[in-house]
Each structure stands twice: as C-alpha cells, then as structure tokens.
Chain A
Amino acid sequence: MSATSAPSVDRLNPWQPHAARIVSVMPEVRGIATYELELELPEVREKYRFAPGQFNMLYLPGFGEAAISISSSPDTTGTLLHTVRAVGNVTTALAKKQAGDQILLRGPFGSSWPLDQCRGQDLVIACGGLGLPPLRPLIYEVLRRRSDYGRVSLLYGARTPQDLLFTGEYAAWRQGDIDVDVTVDLGDEQWAGPIGVVPTLFERLQLASERTWVLTCGPEIMMRFVIQEALERGIPREQIYLSMERNMNCAVGLCGHCQLGPAFICKDGPVFRLDQMEPYLHREDL
C-alpha cells in the first residue's frame, strides 16, 4: 500500500512513456476488448514488474492518456493484458487500433491487492462489470499458489449475460477450486443463474468470517453494499479491501485530480483497506 516508485518508472521523470506494440486485440463483450501489449525495448520489458491491482497509463499521442488496470497474470513475462471499455476520447481511439500498432504507456502505478497478508485465509472476490479485470491478476496468482489460500469464492455480476467478462475462463477457475457465482441484473431466455446485484450473492456463501478476506471492485454503489454484506456477516474491517476509481491525469500524485479525502487514489490507491476509505465512501460528491 505504500507509495514507492516502480522500477520501470523513473522517479525523477515519471512522465517518460515507454513504447509498446499491440500483439493482439481480443474482443470481449459489447464495447470491451482486451489488448495484449509488449513493451518494445528489451531493457524496459525486463525491468517491468507489476502486482495485481496496479494500473498503467495507456497513452495515444494526440489523444491523451487513460488509467487502465492490468488484467493479466503478474507471472507472465513479456506481455501485458489490458481490458478496456471504449468510453472516452482515449479508449475510443484505442478501439480503432489493431495488432501491430504501437501505443505508449507509463507504469505500473498504485497499490495492489493484499495477496501476502491474506495467505492462509479464505477469500471472497466480489466484483461487478469492469471490476473483474483488476482482480483477474489476483485470481491467476491464487490459482498458481492455490494451496496457500483457503476457500476462495468469486462473486461476479454484470447487467446482462452478454456483458459478463471472461466467461470462457470460469470452468478453468472452478477446476482450480475457486467457487464462481455469477449473477446478472437482467436475464434472458438462456440464463439459468441468479438474477440480482452482486451483494445478494453473499447469501450463497458459508463464511468463516474471522478468516475471510473480501476484495471488491466495481461501481461504488455496488462496493458499498458488498461492504455492508461483509460487515453484517462479521468480517473484520481490516480484512476488507476495495479498489477506487477517480480521474487520474499524472498517476503519480502530482496533479491533484484523483483526491478523495486525504488520499491520492493514484498513488495511495487504487486498492485501499476499508478503514482508509470508510469516512469518505458514503458522502455524496466528495
């Protein structure tokens, strides 16, 4: 959680971007694609390490930068995955790029999920919509060291079945002994799973609250109710972590845009322990 600079970011010049080649573009669901990137310079590529939950600033010259979480395994060297919804100026321009094109990036930035602290414990990973990509690196890490963790449940939801991300991987995750519970706000004829918002999936869990850690990412309203469900079930505050989103321009705590209370979301977050964010979560327009 401490703000220390990454080896691939020059502490004395955090603005310097690195060139990356788009290796592949994988369409996911409506408006969302996963971009596989390879840093071009070998010396940059070799130095580059990230922890689950961190993000890069993806940069298209002439368009600008967007803060995008890394959705690949931290154990994979060579390429990085970013799962991006085309919504703003930069991400819409990115959606027009294809394999072989170059983009620039800076990073990785920010804090990461407490993978070491929750070793030996049960995990509830609760996410909605595009809140899953920042948690996928953690899922991969848990699968890689599965015996280090107790019971692991993924609670995931999206608006409709067509909006669910990474559906092709759920079988492998289940096979790796992760309970995957998926819900949608609005079903269709084929949908046989639960209907409702992510927090309602807590009802399906048998929790040993004192040894359960909750890691959540998604719309703030969803995270608030996930936290409420977790607290009602007696999960200690220190074992609840969330990932916040704010406007990030510099990513290094110098531009001021991403502040929430005392935190710079970019460098103190995006991943916070609940008590760090709790005074500010329930305030309108803070």
Chain B
Amino acid sequence: MTMDRDFRGMMTSIEKHQLQRVIEHLQELGYRTVGPQVRDGAIVYDDIASIEQLPTGQIDIQDGGTYRLQTDIEAGWFDYVVGPHSLKNYLFPPREPIQQLTLNANGWHAETPDLTEPPVAVFGLRACDLHALAIQDRVFLEGPYVDPQYKARRERLVIVAVHCRRAAATCFCHSMSTGPAVSGGFDLVLTELDDHFTVEAGTEVGAEVIEHLSHTPCTPAEIERSRQVSLDLLQEMQSRTPEGDSPRPRQLETDGIRDVLMQNLDHARWDDVAQRCLACANCTMVCPTCFCSTVGEVTDLTVEHVTRERTWASCFTGDHSYTASGVVRPSIKSQYRQWLTHKLATWIDQFGSSGCVGCGRCITWCPVGIDLTEEVAAIRGEGT
C-alpha cells in the first residue's frame, strides 16, 4: 500500500476487543484475514476469523534448535516473538503455478494463471518481518525483471503490525537495525498496553479501518507509553548478558561484515560448521528473505497439459548448483558458506542491504542449533 499522506503521530486508543472489528471490517472489504495462532506447539500464520484464535497468554522460549510455547499469565495478546512462518509464505508461496501450457493443433499455448485469490491482510507482523518484506520487494520488484505473482499479491497486501514487547534469546534485530520498533511499511501498527491497544495508521487503508472502530485519540501520556515500549525493549536487548542456564542472548557485529566474510572464504571455521550442519535446508525455509526457487514441470499423462510449478529451493542441496559440467557446490561446507556469505555479505552487493533481519528463525529451527551470530564471531576471531 502506498503512503498517500502522512499519518505519523495520529495515534488512537482502542479497547482490545476492537481488534475483532478490524478483522471483520477487513473481511467485509474482501480481504482474507491471516493471523498468528497455535498449531502443533508452535505459533504459525493461518486464516483467522476471531480474536479468540490469537495466542493470548502464550510466550515462546527460543534458543538454538529449541522452540517451546509457555503459558504466561502476565503475557498479552502478542507477547510471543516469531514462529517458523513469515510473510514469505503468503507473497511467495512454497509452491505455485507460474505458467499453464496446453497443446493444441497449432502447438503449445502458454499463459500465466490468473490470480483469483482474494487480497490478504496479515495480523501480528513484527519490525523484522516488515524489513524482510522490504528486502524481498527489492528482489522481486525492483530489479530489471519483476515477479508477476509477487507483485500482484504485494500490491493488495494489508499489514497490521505489532511493536514487540519482548525479545527471544535468538532475536538480534537490534544488531541489524531492523527493530524492535516498527518503523514503516505497515497499514496499522498496534502497541499493546495493559488493557488496550494504541493504534497508528500508516496508510489510507489503515486510517479508514480505524475510522470504523470505536476509538479515542491518545493522550500525550499514552503516546509516550507506547513509544517507550520499543525503547525499553531496545535497551534491554542492548544490555542483555548471558546469565545462569538461560539461553545466550544473540548479537551480531555488522561492522565491515561483507569484507570480513569474503576475505575469509578459506577460514577453518567453514570446515568446523560443516561437521555440524546437516544440510537439511530448514534455515532457508524459515528465513523470511531467502528467495531461491526452482521451476519444474508438472504434466498430465498425455503430456498435453503442462503446469510450470515454482517451489522453494535451497542452496543446501546438490542440484541447486547443478550444471552440465557437474555440481558446483557438492559439499556441506561449500553450501553453508554460500548461504552465510550470501545472506550477510554478497546480498549487500546485490541489493544494497544485508539479507538478514535478525529474526533468529534460522537459529531456532536449525535441528543442531547452528547459530550464525556465533559463526560470524568465530570467523572474526572473537571466540565463542
């Protein structure tokens, strides 16, 4: 959604249950509403019709290779951090047709399938998610070629974001300058205060939604309290230190990181991490910015109807780098090195920013708990 006028500072206060009206109103406008909910012990995104589905009172305890939900009577509606899903699942789905071909008397007829799906409104996105979205926009929309499906979905997307009130031990948005405050790219952003939300609109759509709610302008004190939520969390993240048995809080030194990694392509640490990495590709699946894909052929038995289907791909597979002369990156060492150097170094050359937003998903969902912040520190010679 483009920003037509400046809505900054226009903050209103709503009762928490008003969020139900937001869902309903967006549904009335034709949106498919998607939000966080508990499934199989994790918080995922899926269709949402009621605020009862939100993971209220749940927090997530995350560490390398660890994700546990915990009930916390102090917790609010959005005090979990991030789960395995991200916006990428909706704008760049794991599997989708990109061309339909039919063989007729004149030969093959190829066409792009029409997007018949309704526009999507997603609730509960965080600062890191919105930065990841901006990064994927640069990949799919801002190069010499545009991905038509991504573009069609992106233009109609509505985002109801949330300012984080807590960080998992795997979070390091403060290192990547991507959070914890939501700084832009939203239609609405919520701050959860004790018994109500303060809401800020970022677009006309967001402002229009607020107008349909029972709302009151925020008092200066409420605005101040709302702002303080992110500032307090940022300060907490910056001053976190390892203590006792609790998970080690993450941070990543980004200063000069491009050259540090590219000048250390032969570092012994790549062999070390290759001993631990299973090349399972989980990190690339949960990463909100990883965009690799493969287009394959799906045919019927007559081979007269062919669907070209795009599926997520991962640099942790051999066929990712297959050429007629062989596989370019056959070893786990070369695959991990490709992933990490792309994410943190060559991404900067390609798209002008890091490919990492500090969401920590790759750390949490790695079955052996490989932690990219630790790998970078080791390559920097900082020890771990």
A residues lining the B interface (CB < 8 Å)? 3-5, 9, 11-17, 19, 40, 61-65, 85, 87-88, 102, 104, 219-220, 245-247, 249-250, 252-257, 259, 261-262, 264, 267, 279, 283-286
A15 & B328 in contact (Cβ 8 Å cutoff): no
Provide the residues of chain A in CB contact with B292, threshold 8 Å. 255-257
List the B side residues contacting A16 at CB < 8 Å: 99, 110, 112
18 contacts between A and B (CB under 8 A): A12-B148, A13-B146, A61-B101, A61-B299, A61-B303, A87-B324, A247-B322, A249-B294, A250-B293, A254-B140, A254-B145, A255-B313, A257-B292, A257-B294, A259-B338, A283-B266, A285-B331, A286-B328
State the B residues within 8 Å of A (CB).
Answer: 98-99, 101, 103, 107-108, 110, 112, 139-140, 143-148, 151, 262, 265-266, 291-297, 299, 303, 306, 308, 313, 315, 320-325, 328-331, 333-334, 337-338, 342, 346, 349-350
Enumerate chain A residues within 8 angstroms of B334, measured Cβ to Cβ: 284-286
The answer to whether B99 touches A15 (Cβ under 8 A) is: yes
| A256 and B315 within 8 A (CB) | yes
B333 and A61 within 8 A (CB): no
Whole-angstrom distance between the Cβ of A216 and the nearest chain B Cβ: 16
Closest to B330 in A: A285
In angstroms, Cα B294 to Cα A255, docked, is 7
Q: Which 7 A-B pairs have the closest CB atoms?
A: A262-B349, A256-B292, A285-B334, A252-B145, A262-B346, A102-B107, A61-B306
Name the contact of B145 in the complex, choosing from A104, A253, A256, A262 (C-beta under 8 A). Answer: A253
A15-B99, A261-B262, A262-B349 known; A255-B325 Cβ under 8 A:
no
Q: Once the chains bind, are A255 and B295 in contact (CB under 8 Å)?
A: yes
Contacts of A219 in B (CB 8 A): 325
Structural contact, B315 and A64, CB atoms closer than 8 A: no
Q: Are B143 and A61 closer than 8 Å at their CB atoms?
A: no
Q: Tell whether, in the assembled complex, residue B144 and residue A252 are in contact, meaning their CB atoms are under 8 Å apart.
A: yes
With a cutoff of 8 Å between Cβ atoms, the chain B residues found around residue A4 in the complex are 144
In whole angstroms, how far apart are the Cα atoms of A259 and B350 in the complex?
10
- State how many angstroms separate the Cβ of B123 from the closest Cβ of chain A: 28
Which chain A residue has the least Cβ–Cβ distance from B303? A62
CA distance A254 to B338 in the complex (A): 16
CB of A283 within 8 A of CB of B320, answer no
CB distance from A80 to the nearest CB of B (A): 17
Whether B144 and A257, one on each chain, are in contact in the complex, defined by CB atoms closer than 8 angstroms, is: no
Contact A88 B324 (CB under 8 A): yes
Q: How far, in Å, is A74 (CB) from chain B's closest CB?
A: 20
In the bound complex, residues from chain A placing their C-beta under 8 Å from that of B350 are 262, 264
What residues on B are CB-neighbors of A245 within 8 Å? 323-325
A47 to B310, CA, bound (A): 28
The answer to whether A286 touches B265, judged by C-beta atoms less than 8 angstroms apart, is yes
Q: Which of B139, B294, B299, B320 sits near A62, CB closer than 8 Å?
A: B299
Q: Is the CB of A246 within 8 A of B328?
A: yes
A12 and B303 alpha carbons, distance in the complex (Å): 28
Residues of B within 8 A of A262 (CB): 346, 349-350
Which of B143, B333, B349 has most A Cβ within 10 Å?
B143
B322 cross-chain contacts in A, Cβ below 8 A: 247
Chain B residues, Cβ within 8 Å of A40: 107
> How far is it, in angstroms, between the C-alpha of A286 and the C-alpha of B333 when the chains are bound?
10
Residues from chain B with a CB closer than 8 A to the CB of A61 are: 101, 103, 108, 110, 297, 299, 303, 306
* Set A9, A62, A85, A285: member contacting B328, Cβ < 8 A: A285
Contacts A64-B297, A249-B295, A253-B145 given; does A261 touch B346 at CB 8 Å: yes
> CB within 8 A of B108: which of A15, A102, A220, A259?
A102
The answer to whether B324 and A85 have CB atoms under 8 Å apart is: yes
CA distance A3 to B293 in the complex (A): 20
Does the CB pair B296–A64 fall under 8 Å?
yes
Q: How far is the CB of B337 from chain A (nearest CB, A)?
A: 8
Closest to A65 in B: B295
Which of A11, A102, A256 contacts B291 (CB under 8 A)? A256
The smallest beta-carbon distance between B349 and chain A, in angstroms, is 3
B295 adjacent to A250 (CB under 8 Å): yes
Do A15 and B346 have beta carbons less than 8 Å apart?
A: no
Complex Cα gap A247–B328 (Å): 9
Residues in chain B near residue A19, CB distance under 8 A: 107-108
Is B143's CB under 8 angstroms from A3's CB? yes
Q: How far is the CB of B13 from chain A (nearest CB, A)?
A: 42
A99 to chain B, nearest CB (A): 15
Complex-state Cα separation, A283 to B334, whole angstroms: 10
Residue from A5, A14, A255, A283 in contact with B293 in the complex, judged by beta carbons closer than 8 Å: A255
With contacts A255-B292, A286-B334 known, is A11 near B346, CB below 8 A? no
Inter-chain contacts of B103 with A (CB < 8 A)? 61
In Å, the complex CA distance between A250 and B311 comes to 12
Given A62-B306, A87-B324, residue A279 in contact with residue B329 (CB < 8 A) = no
CA distance A250 to B328 in the complex (A): 18
